């Protein structure tokens, strides 16, 4: 079978890219983010030598100032605010060089991006991980929430009527 016969071949790049925004709690590393985060990711990459790691640890601010990053990007790194860093174009595989520099395990660093403590996160993983149920689509979640709200109001209305009787 040739590539041309792929029934799921992407026909519209705009639709392809827009669909990613519907996934809850996720930033897909598309070109827009790759461009925005270029220097932040290259900074993280530079931590792959012990010499640079030592220089960074000695004066984080001065080391960051060697890179043409935005002030917000630098602050997100200084704060180790990884959700923010990813919002500003960071990629987790690049940022992981910073996890290692700090002596954090991948899982512990990742847990800081969730609403859980590391022990809670570890326990969730041992229990089978985060379920995809309810985590597939922002649109679907909003629709479900709207329906639930309507159902609740209906119930309340029915209850009020009953009381009125």
Q: Residues in the site for other proteins, rule: CB under 8 A?
A: 1-3, 6-10, 16-17, 19-20, 23-31, 34, 38, 41-42, 44-45, 47-50, 53, 82-83, 86, 91-94, 96-101, 103, 105-107, 110-111, 113-115, 121, 124-126, 128-132, 135-137
- Look at residues 34, 31, 51 and name the one whose alpha carbon lies nearest to residue 42: 34
C-alpha 73/C-alpha 146 separation (Å) is: 36
* Nearer to other proteins among residue 74 and residue 85 (C-beta): 85
* Nearer to other proteins among residue 136 and residue 156 (C-beta): 136
* Nearer to other proteins among residue 7 and residue 164 (C-beta): 7
Task: Tell me if 79 sits within 8 A of 102, measured CB to CB.
Answer: no
- Look at residues 65, 102, 58 and name the one whose alpha carbon lies nearest to residue 80: 102
Q: How far is the CB of 149 from other proteins (least distance, A)?
A: 22
- Look at residues 12, 24, 102, 13 and name the one whose alpha carbon lies nearest to residue 60: 102
Q: How far is the CB of 1 from other proteins (least distance, A)?
A: 8
What are the distances in angstroms from CA 17 to CA 10, 13, 22, 28, 91?
Answer: 10, 6, 10, 9, 17
Q: How far is the CB of 65 from other proteins (least distance, A)?
A: 20
* Nearer to other proteins among residue 75 and residue 110 (C-beta): 110
Task: Tell me if 69 sits within 8 A of 43, measured CB to CB.
Answer: yes
Angle (nearest 5°) at CA 153 between 152 and 154: 90
* Nearer to other proteins among residue 93 and residue 157 (C-beta): 93
Q: How far is the CB of 75 from other proteins (least distance, A)?
A: 19
Q: How far is the CB of 153 from other proteins (least distance, A)?
A: 29
């Amino acid at each position: 079978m040739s590539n041309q016969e792929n029934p799921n071949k992407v026909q519209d790049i705009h639709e392809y890219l827009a669909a990613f925004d519907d996934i809850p709690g996720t930033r897909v590393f598309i070109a827009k983010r790759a461009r925005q985060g270029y220097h932040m990711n290259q900074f993280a990459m530079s931590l792959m030598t012990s010499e640079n790691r030592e220089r960074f640890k000695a004066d984080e601010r001065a080391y960051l100032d060697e890179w043409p990053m935005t002030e917000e990007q630098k602050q997100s790194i200084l704060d180790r605010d990884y959700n923010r860093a990813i919002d500003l174009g960071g990629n987790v595989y690049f940022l992981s060089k910073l996890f290692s520099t700090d002596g954090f395990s991948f899982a512990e660093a990742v847990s800081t991006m969730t609403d859980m403590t590391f022990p809670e996160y570890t326990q969730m993983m041992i229990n089978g991980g985060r379920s995809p149920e309810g985590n597939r689509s922002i649109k679907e979640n909003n629709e479900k929430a709207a329906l639930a709200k309507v159902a609740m109001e209906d119930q309340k209305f029915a209850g009020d009527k009953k009381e009125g009787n």
